[in-house]
Structure 1
Amino acid sequence: METKEIRRAAVVTGGGRGIGRAVCVRLAKEGCDVCINFAGNAAAAEETAKLCREAGGEGIRVMTVKADISREEEADRLIAEAVEAFGRVDILVNNAGITRDNIMLRMSAEDFDQVIGTNLRGTFLCCKAVTRTMMRQKYGRIINLSSIVGIHGNAGQENYAASKAGVIGLTKSIAKELASRNITANAVAPGYIATDMTANLPEKEKEAILAGIPAKRIGTPEDVAEAVAFLASEKAGYINGQVLGVDGGM
């Protein structure tokens, strides 16, 4: 008797641009239904949705949901709307992130709190919101976006580095807690990736970063998306609690 193949459904936070967009399109290409979360730029999210439909072909269901994932009620609503639309959520990619860079002496407590709120608290809230659904399914893949900065630190980014280091600790703890339910949790730590977030860096700083990359090239959002897609696949079922660097050898 043939077993009916399950179409996987994914939620990607911060899916409107950059790495999030590349992840959405890559998962759509794998045949997943995709829920694209965005905080403010509806036009960018709709462009991602268009690209997902083109990549996934007929039958792929794609939706966009505006939600501030640093707020518990909105993180809960994001997951609830995805479950209502797709009937399930198999993959959660916590990609949403912000920066408020400054040297520590000039960094305000508000800037610190905002970055922690989105990057770390938001990741926790979305993981918590999706856990019950994944436990009922006895299946789930959680992929949290950390950063090389969360491993090595970076001057002028105490808030961002702290948030991304926290994501690693959170991921490893979730992995231990949910492994028996056939749910994995892994982190991806990108290095220097060509996105809107890095485009505004001074040229001298870009040159210095490039000099420190053994691969001698800047990464692309698609490089990161390939790593996420693998960890989100059924083939990665025995990989859990790991941090996969996508950094060209940095």
Structure 2
Amino acid sequence: MSKKVVLVTGGGRGIGREICMAFASENTHIALTYTRDAQSAEQVKQTLTARHISCSVHPLNVQNFSLCQSVVDAVEREYGTINVLVNNAGITLSKQFVNCDETENEAVLSTNLQGVMNMTLATVPSLKKSTKNAELGRIVNISSNTSLCGNAGQVAYSVTKAGVNGFTRVCARTLAQYDIVVNAVAPGYIDTDMTHDLPESTYSHVLKVSAMKRTGRVEDVSAIVQLLCDDHCQYMTGQVIHIDGGKFC
């Protein structure tokens, strides 16, 4: 049986790192990208290599389509056609909209939404080739609970994640003819470096409105991503799965 090739953007830290670790228990080659933290990305590679899992690390700014295409080409040369794409790379901005400048909003929009579109467009030709071997191609986009609730002080972030949801549904309809399924997971407040930067008031609000009265773990997200890519999960596409402990906005 040939190994699955899994490409995870933003795979060096937080949720992305845990997604890489989840797939490492399978028969996989893993390629991950990072933007700034090369050391963390290399640590993920070292951990996987110690488990005898082949892993490659690629610096990438997902805002640039040509760079996305270059990474896809490099992964194909090393491992073959890509079976799974996880669009995880993203940044946040905790600031009232009226106080944001154009540059700050542009960075969030270009990374979180255009970046997902760039990586998907670059990877689809490879996914289409993999489906010729009677396998489903998989795309999982990492969205956010803010796409539904719209957190105050996170306008650009919430807008991009709502866009990711819409993009997921359109791609699911468009790519089904090629046996490529597309879904999104929308985490709530997950304990990562990114959420550590949020105000204490946001954390208190989460505990107040969450049915489970606690934050989530990165493993809660990676488990669902892995499920969506399982060979037995073949009839779910175009869905946005909220992983938020019952956070009702």
TM-score, structure 2 normalization: 0.94
Compared CA separation, residues 202 and 159, structure 1 to 2 (3 A)? closer
Q: Which amino acid aligns with 1:50?
A: Q
Matched, 1:203 2:229: no
Counterparts of 1:187 and 1:64, CA distance in 2: 24
For residue 98 of structure 1, what is the aligned residue in structure 2?
91
Q: Deviations over 1:62-100 (max 9, x none)?
A: 000001011011111111111111111100000000012
Give the secondary-structure state (helix, strand or coil) at the position aligned to 1:230.
helix
Q: What whole-Å deviation, never above 9, does each CA across 1:146-198 have from its counterpart, x for those lacking one?
A: 00001111111110001000000111111001112111000000000000011
- Tell me the amino acid that sits aligned with residue 89 of structure 2: A
Residue in structure 1 matched with residue 14 of structure 2 by the alignment: 18
3-state DSSP class of the match of 1:36?
Answer: strand
**Is residue 61 from structure 1 mapped to residue 32 from structure 2 by the alignment?**
no
Q: Distance in 1 between matches of 2:47 and 2:215?
A: 23
Structure 2 counterpart of 1:237, from 234, 238, 244: 234
CA distance in 1 between counterparts of 2:35 and 2:191 reads: 21
Does the Cα contact within 8 Å between 2:188 and 2:244 map onto a contact in 1? Answer: yes
Identify which of 122, 127, 136 aligns with 1:129: 122
TM-aligned CA deviation for residue 204 of structure 1: 3.8
Quote the Cα distance in structure 2 between the aligned partners of 1:52 and 1:249.
33
Range 203-212 or range 173-182, more displaced = 203-212
Question: Is 1:51 aligned to residue 47 of structure 2?
Answer: yes
Distance 1:125 1:93 in 2: 13
Take 2:107 and 2:200, find their aligned partners in 1: how far apart are those partners?
27
**2:174 corresponds to which letter in structure 1?**
E
CA distance in 2, matches of 1:237, 1:52: 28
Residue in structure 2 matched with residue 150 of structure 1 by the alignment: 147
Amino acid at match of 2:6: A
Partner of 1:234: helix, strand, or coil? coil
- 1: distance between equivalents of 2:171 and 2:156? 22
The answer to whether the 8 Å contact 1:29/1:52 transfers is no
* Percentage identity across paired residues of the two chains: 35
Q: What SS does the aligned partner of 1:40 have?
A: coil
Equivalent residue for 2:2, pick from 2, 6, 10? 6
SS in 2 for 1:156: coil
Q: Do 2:48 and 2:54's aligned partners in 1 also have CA atoms closer than 8 Å?
A: no
Cross-structure match for 2:81: 88
Residue 39 (1) aligns with residue 50 (2): no
Aligned to 1:77: 70
Q: Distance in 2 between matches of 1:170 and 1:243?
A: 11
- What is the alpha-carbon root mean square deviation over aligned residues? 1.2
Aligned counterparts of 1:247 and 1:229: Cα–Cα separation in 2: 17
Q: What amino acid is aligned across from residue 7 of structure 2 in structure 1?
A: V
Q: What are the ranges of 5 or more consecutive residues in structure 2 without an aligned counterpart?
A: none
Q: Which amino acid aligns with 1:35?
A: A
2:184 counterpart SS class: strand
- Distance, in Å, in 2 between the alignment partners of 1:204 and 1:147 is 18
Q: Write the letter of the residue equivalent to 2:245.
A: G
131-140 vs 68-77, which moves further: 131-140
Q: How many residues align?
A: 243
Partner in structure 2 of residue 177 of structure 1: 174
List alignment gaps of at least 5 residues for structure 1.
none
SS of equivalent residue, structure 1 residue 235: coil
Per the normalisation by structure 1, the TM-score is 0.94
2:244 aligned residue:
247
**Inter-CA distance 165–75: structure 2 relative to 1 (3 Å threshold):** same
